[in-house]
Homo-oligomer: A and B are copies of this chain.
Amino acid sequence: MDEVSRAVINFTRERDWDQFHSPENLAKSITIESGELLECFQWGSNFDKKEVCRELADVINYAILLADKLDVKIEDIVMEKLEENSKKYPVNKSKGNSKKYTEL
């Protein structure tokens, strides 16, 4: 993943795009790309795997750039969130249950 992150960041640097990549603009970009990902499923659950992978890659691309801009490691923030979620969603309460923690 380190290598991939470097490739993503380097792609941006070569094009001098860093000037556009404020955290706010990257958050917008993640949302825009996730809308395109969702479009793969607009009318139902069938999907074109290749297309879904392309849109998912765009979401992750901007997620890598935002993590870099915030100077955090993706691995660290995901592990921290998992720990937080394990308190919100204890196994015994949430097993087989899709309810939000506020309703558990």
Contact = CB atoms under 8 A, between A and B. Distances in A.
Interface of A: 1, 3-4, 7-8, 11, 14-17, 19-20, 22-25, 27-32, 34-45, 47, 49, 52-54, 56-61, 63-64, 66-67, 70, 72, 74-75, 77-82, 84-86, 89, 91, 94-98
Contact of A24 (B16, B19, B47, B70): B47
A42 B28 contact: yes
B82 A59 contact: no
Contacts of A40: 27
Contacts of A31: 31, 34-35, 37-38
B11 A86 contact: yes
